[in-house]
Amino acid sequence: MSFIPYGKQWIGEEDIDAISETLRSDFLTTGPKVAEFEKAVAEYCGAKYAVAVCNGTAALHIASLGLLKPGDKVLTTPNSFLATSNAILYAGAKPLFVDIQENGNIDLDLCEEALQNDPTIEALYAVHFSGNPVEQEKLESLKAKYDITILEDCAHSIGAEYEGIKAGSCTHSDASIFSFHPVKHMTTGEGGMVTTNDEALYEHLKMLRNHGMVKTPDMKPWEYEMRELGFNYRITDIQCALGLSQLKKLNDFIERRRQLAQRYDEAFADHPNIEPLYRYNGRSSYHLYVVLIDFNKTDISKEELFVRIGERGIGLQLHYMPINRQPYYRRLGYGEESLPNMDRYYERCLSIPLYPKLKVEEQDYVIENLKELVGG
């Protein structure tokens, strides 16, 4: 059996054909495939507009420049990849870390308390952690009551659906972002996207993606105008050809992830030491399958488990170390917040292999080895 990582892409011959076709075409970058991919993702999520960029971090960066002002206070989660709160810093704004609930998502009731206590808080960045969407009715009510800007980080959650509301539809938010890194549900190698229903924001983001530059029909043929400081965050036609081909298979990929997640749920149902972060709920699109293990009750430490299961050809990951306790954040004055749920979660969480190409025999091998090493 070859090494079983925690996550992995699935590239088929049709993906390779799609890329080859683009390589043989006139456009390698910013050709028809970029617009086609944007339209297809916007339609898939049910958003009006989409702007494709070179990675999810770039998507967060331009979205943050479009949504935030320097000095804005932004509620966000410590349980995410660094990129989520880093983007708040890129915009000169100030992340405020809020504790998580039992399912690993930001606690929106605590967000409400913070908004009540501090009316100068401007925004909320919520991550649908592991693919499991945050409560949309709470986003709706926070937006209505406190008139805040909301960004949904959907890097884990393309295809997730919360009572008819698709991740990325921006039904109760101003913008959403996606990542198409190979461990995510579908890939473009590296790639990202912002979706929004706000036309002005859409136009602004397109400009930021391309050096803050515009070219209008009334200009001379060689002219362009730089209206603000932007970036080269363009994605290529080659990547978007891959994205379009992957998107056709996305629902199958998600279905497969859900089936595997349910098999894990069953396997750990009665286990005294291994508890799924949440059980199948029909909403999550399962970027990750996270288990909680109380290492106070096991003979093996978390570190030993990583090493020993790795020796048996199984890759684990940990999502995530609390962002607020990173050295860089400590230098900015973070790190001593009281976030007891996050700390307790961090002690216990582990992500175990989950990807559509994972075979049932491989999954059984993971289950068997995890149970044996953890004991109980």
Ligand X SMILES: Cc1ncc(COP(=O)(O)O)c(C=O)c1O
The reply to whether omega before 264 is within 30° of 0 (cis) is no
Query: What's the DSSP call for residue 106?
Result: B
Site string for ligand X, 186-215 (x = CB under 6 A): ------x-----------------------
Question: Minimal CB distance to ligand X: which residue?
Answer: 56
Question: 3-class SS at 78?
Answer: coil
Query: What's the DSSP call for residue 24?
Result: T
Query: For ligand X, which is the closer residue by CB, 37 or 81?
Result: 81
CA 288-291-296 angle, 5° bins: 150
**179 in contact with ligand X (CB under 6 A):** yes
Query: For ligand X, which is the closer residue by CB, 106 or 148?
Result: 106
C-alpha span between 86 and 67 (Å, rounded): 14
- Dihedrals phi, psi of 44, to nearest 5 degrees: -60, -40
In the window 53-92, what residues touch ligand X (CB under 6 A)? 55-57, 60, 80-81, 83-84
> Closest approach of Cβ 180 to ligand X, in Å?
7
Query: For ligand X, which is the closer residue by CB, 55 or 196?
Result: 55
Query: What's the DSSP call for residue 70?
Result: T
> Closest approach of Cβ 365 to ligand X, in Å?
26
> Closest approach of Cβ 84 to ligand X, in Å?
5
> Closest approach of Cβ 367 to ligand X, in Å?
25
User: For residues 198-223, b (16+ Cβ closer than 10 Å) or e, as one string?
Assistant: beebbebbbbbbbbbebeeeeeeeee
The token duo for 153 is 């980080």
Alpha carbon 185 to its chain centroid, in Å, reads 10
**100 in contact with ligand X (CB under 6 A):** no
**236 in contact with ligand X (CB under 6 A):** no
Query: For ligand X, which is the closer residue by CB, 65 or 267?
Result: 65
In 3D space, the residue among 54, 72, 82 whose CA is nearest the CA of residue 208 turns out to be: 54
Residue entry with tokens 């307790």:
344
Query: For ligand X, which is the closer residue by CB, 107 or 153?
Result: 153
Site string for ligand X, 149-178 (x = CB under 6 A): ----x-xx----------------------
3-state helix, strand, coil in the chain (%, to 5): 40, 15, 40
Total residues binding ligand X (CB under 6 A): 15
Query: For ligand X, which is the closer residue by CB, 179 or 210?
Result: 179
The residues that touch ligand X, with contacts defined as CB under 6 A, are 55-57, 60, 80-81, 83-84, 127, 153, 155-156, 179, 181, 192
